[in-house]
Structure 1
Amino acid sequence: MLLSVRELDVFRHVMERGSITGAARALHITQPAVSKMLQQAETRLGFSLFLRDGRTLRPTAEAQALFPETLSAFAAIDVVQRLAGALQGGVAGALSIAVIPSIANSIMPVAITRFRKQLPEVAVILHAVPAPEVVRLVEDHRVELGAVIGPVGGRQVVVSDTCVTELACLMPDDHPLAVRQAVRPEDLQPWPLIASSGNWPLGAQLNVVFADANVPLKIAVTVDHATVAGGLVRSGAGVALLDRFGLLSAQEPGLLARPLLPTTASTARILLPRFRPVSRQAATFRQVLVEVAMEAGIAFSQSGRR
């Protein structure tokens, strides 16, 4: 083993706090101890993790490459610790789930509450992360169930259920566009737009819709979370383009939604790890999630994909 967990933890804290002093304070150890562990790690690795400029530490390219994977490793350790704590506390088990933020903020609270009423002995660990991370967590068997919107490229996942929703425009109820039954890209040109970046599935879809309409897509505010988009709309920053799950989490009194034409489909998928038996708790939660989605007007159907 090149690095111990303790050395990785020291490395993580130095990266996060930008100094040996900050890392030592967070870890409740001395600065010399932090320096010594960093030196040991660099010796074992055969390359430098930081360039020292007086009291300033600058991460090397190698450190920048290691840091995201280090965070993922500690996230996995945290899941193990939570499960161990749950088992120690008398809980019969734990269900780990990963979903994108718009699903986490819309149907997930009701689904988890209902699930816990059915299986109160099972603890729930919820990760709200971007779609690629959801797929990776399911592929790595670090969660038992995932939910995303958009295509799924992972080969080590099973798509158990799918649903198709349509995109819409969220606006204040007194907005000039509120008198319309639907809106088109050309109708939105005068107004500041709030939407996801092109790196997210929804943002990529919007790029295509506006390009097909020969209308430039000019996003005034780029967001990653639908709840943030709702707050921006409420404050008058513009109108937001969201999928159905995003609308559920962002809509509130004083705001309304109008369909975006031409009709643009957005596909949500429930994911399970391939080659892993579906546990009773995962099967129960999947059913609960489908039921809660149906009550919110989102109909999942079982997928034939394996």
Structure 2
Amino acid sequence: MNFKQIETFRSVMLTRSMTVAATQLHTSQPNVSRVIAQLEKEVGFPLFERVAGRLAPTEEAEALFRDVERAFIGLDNLRDSARSIRRLGTGTLRIGAAGSIAMSVVPLAIRAFGAVYPDVPIVVHTGSSATVAKWTATHFCDIGLVSYTSDIPGVDITLLRQENGVCVVPGTHRLARRRRIRASDLDGERFISLPYGSATRLATDAAFDPDRRLLTVETPFAATICTMVNMDLGVGIVNPIVTRSLKLPGIRAIPFDPAVEFRSYVVRAPQFPATRLANFFLECLDEAWTLST
């Protein structure tokens, strides 16, 4: 497949119309139909079908479109970077971050960074730790901030912070005045958990008797757990940096026993030289983390 086919496919997916796509691409509707037919032959499965007279993508088309969009995000970043270099003489600072870090200390670091470099654009890409590491290895991001390490070749990993998790409960909860909460104290409580498969989830699960914990919700973001706890939907174990940053008045963050370690790492690609801007952002991040402690 070639770029023209992919561009045409993307336009049809976004507009749900070959006629409108043809207008956007400055070509004819028959030409769009011909290119889509060629692409279907290349990939070996149908991309569109007519349903009640309307153009509808197949499930295979939707799956392909997700990967196409990721590729076009990269192209858009290149265009933004070129405009920035033309205007400012410097490129965009691209940061990849796991959700718990992106929603807590990263905004504080961006504020400090912007006070010194107000004209430097910053793009924050949020994903799983494994995804962020891959982004950094390929230089899609200048810096990666992750919650756990994975076997990704081509990156250097440095421990940024290590803290013990806290149990978050509503401020009106029966345990809200405790100085420490033990796993047995949560017997029968609705529990909101990080998703299965992460290192932190495994450590959290190990602290509980699986027959006595009521697991009701899973979510990849600690900030979401805190918001749900604030709405009295349950309790959870999270990285304390999240509770300190969110400062939700309706929850209490209480030390938890046994200890569940939460670690944060900086990921860098050694084959790409570190930029002055990236190094300064890490200084801002370290300062933000210290101030939030």
**TM-score by shorter chain over 0.5:** yes
Partner of 1:287: 283
State the Cα distance separating 1:151 from its structure 2 match. 2.2
State the Cα distance separating 1:271 from its structure 2 match. 0.9
State the Cα distance separating 1:289 from its structure 2 match. 0.8
> How many positions carry a matched residue from both structures?
289
State the Cα distance separating 1:227 from its structure 2 match. 2.8
Answer yes or no: is 1:3 the counterpart of 2:2: yes
State the Cα distance separating 1:103 from its structure 2 match. 0.8
The 5-angstrom pairing of residues 1-306 of structure 1 reads 2-4=1-3, 6-12=4-10, 14=12, 19-20=16-17, 24=21, 32-43=30-41, 45=42, 47-50=44-47, 52=49, 54=51, 55=54, 56-60=56-60, 63=61, 66-90=64-88, 92-210=90-208, 213=209, 216-297=212-293
Matched-pair contact (CA < 8 Å) for 2:188–2:213: no
Return the letter of the residue paired with 2:122: V
User: Which ranges in structure 2 are unaligned for 5 or more consecutive residues?
Assistant: none
Matched residue SS, 2:189: coil
User: Which ranges in structure 1 are unaligned for 5 or more consecutive residues?
Assistant: 298-306
Matched residue SS, 2:176: helix
1:120-140 alpha-carbon deviations (Å, 9 max, x no partner): 342211111221210110010
Cα distance in structure 2, aligned partners of 1:22 and 1:177: 62
1:62-90 alpha-carbon deviations (Å, 9 max, x no partner): x5664443232112112112212222333
State the Cα distance separating 1:230 from its structure 2 match. 2.3
Greater shift, 94-103 or 161-170, is seen at: 161-170
**In 2 relative to 1, CA 22–31 (structure 1 residues): closer, same or farther, beyond 3 Å?**
closer
Cα distance in structure 1, aligned partners of 2:227 and 2:143: 30
Return the letter of the residue paired with 1:9: E
> How large is the RMSD of aligned CA atoms in angstroms?
2.7
State the Cα distance separating 1:28 from its structure 2 match. 7.5
1:12-56 alpha-carbon deviations (Å, 9 max, x no partner): 455567x4469849957776554332112223x252242636554
**In 2 relative to 1, CA 13–133 (structure 1 residues): closer, same or farther, beyond 3 Å?**
farther
**In 2 relative to 1, CA 191–280 (structure 1 residues): closer, same or farther, beyond 3 Å?**
same
Matched residue SS, 1:231: helix
TM-score (normalised: structure 2): 0.86
Return the letter of the residue paired with 1:48: F
TM-score (normalised: structure 1): 0.83
